[in-house]
Amino acid sequence: MGEIKQPTGQVRDPAREAQVLAQVRRLAQHHGLSQDITETVYRILMDYFVDIQLNQVTSQTL
């Protein structure tokens, strides 16, 4: 996934993350799920993948 993003080393996109989380909360509500739990799970997943991307960027610059 890190290869798709700009090669500037910037991995996080707070505006895009906010959009995704808002959509996740809407979908959770629509399907009768806990919005808070669903958002927490998505945040965990996003943090995990950001860590992977940061490791890729770091290893490419070494």
**pLDDT classification of 43: cutoffs 50, 70, 90:** very high
Mean pLDDT for 20-33 is 98
The C-alpha atoms of residue 38 and residue 46 are separated, in whole angstroms, by: 12
Write down the pTM of the prediction. 0.76
pLDDT (0 to 100) of residue 3: 53
Write the CA distances from 8 to 2, 17, 43, 49, 61, integer angstroms.
11, 18, 23, 17, 11
Tens digits of residue pLDDT in 6-25: 555 688 899 999 999 999 99
Give 28's pLDDT tier (boundaries 50, 70, 90). very high
The CA-based angle 21-25-31, given to 5 degrees, is: 140
Q: Are 25 and 39 in contact (CB under 8 A)?
A: yes
